[in-house]
Amino acid sequence: MKIAVVGATGLVGQVMLEVLNARGFQFDELFLVASERSVGKTISFQSKNYTVISLEDAVSRRPDIALFSAGGDTSLAWAPKFAEVGCRVIDNSSAWRMNPDHKLVVPEINAHELTKDDFIIANPNCSTIQMVMALAPLHRAYSIDRIVVSTYQSVSGTGVKAVQQLENEEKGIDGDRAYAHPIYRNALPHCDVFLADGFTKEEQKLMQEPKKILGDQSLKITATAVRIPTAGGHSEAINVSFKRDFELSEVRRLLEESDGVVVQDDVSQNLYPMPATAHQKDEVFVGRIRRDPSQANTLNLWVVADNLRKGAATNAIQIAEYLVAQSLV
């Protein structure tokens, strides 16, 4: 088994390596791939030094699986070239997510859709993943009508430059900015670029991607995405209306029995999900589970996950694990 990590020097690429190691993913050869400016750098992994290679070099080595986290333009240009040599590409960018010819996969929900014909597989947006992980079992039971989601997103979702901006501002240091405004002691209702309709691209992803993953184009979803000065994970306040009524005890049971979901919901002990406690964990944490008294069949949830792990690297590697387990590669 030959594995390539494309974007190995970036934040998500580094976490890809951590998760490959933590989950004991088996491979015979590992190729660490990055842009031309990083070619030749050395990265230590599992007590071995690897030299970063170019995309062109990586294609020539014909990996079996390539884990892409190098941006949409790189994915559009290079994923098909990897696929042409028989490589399964699992792409973390938005490039292929809404393409009807490519699957958008959260393994616990819809990995069963994958076949031997799938050579470019899309990894969903980080905020989408944690939302659908919490809502999929409830959708199966009660049929979702409408979702109103507000996100509180870590600076790590923007990348190294944003993390550095926060750290600089905490120390009172002037430096390059990833954002239009200071992020320290602030909250920015501005994740990704603004679109013509007034929503941001991040909000658009939250409104579109769940329909594809859950296989239900009738879902009504609206979103507001906010960047906050934390680095451990993304949080979401979700208000969800169902077509059928529910019992809170049954909601809790369904969530507790869902793979990859952990219920943290004991307010008498101040127990609820937080980015600080979700950091470097692979699960999605759900709490503050309560009925919305203002509308029939409506539930409030608070959902938190590490956006670099389950929101990116872990989900991609779980897809790779599924491909191997089902002999699809």
Q: Residues 6 or more apart from 167 whose CB is under 8 A from it?
A: none
Enter the DSSP assignment of 232. Answer: S
Q: What are 302's strand-pairing partners?
A: 237, 287
What's the CA gap between 71 and 279, in Å, rounded?
23
Locate all alpha helices (DSSP H) within 215-297, ordered by sequence.
248-256, 275-278
Q: Residues 6 or more apart from 292 whose CB is under 8 A from it?
A: 239, 298, 299, 300
Q: What are the helix and strand counts (H, E) for the chain? A: 10, 13
Q: What are 5's strand-pairing partners?
A: 32, 67
Q: Which sequence positions are flagged as catalytic?
A: 126, 234
Measured in residues, the chain has a length of: 329
Residue pair 97/75 in contact by the 8 Å Cβ criterion: no
Residue pair 130/284 in contact by the 8 Å Cβ criterion: yes
In the block, residue with structure tokens 């750098």:
41
| Strand positions, DSSP E, 46-163 | 48-51, 65-68, 88-91, 120-122, 144-153
What's the CA gap between 78 and 94, in Å, rounded?
14
For residue 53, CA distances in Å to 36, 39, 44, 73 come to 8, 5, 14, 19
The tokens describing 156, both together, are 């790590």
The tokens describing 153, both together, are 């997103």
By three-state DSSP, how is residue 272 classified?
coil
Residue pair 320/90 in contact by the 8 Å Cβ criterion: yes
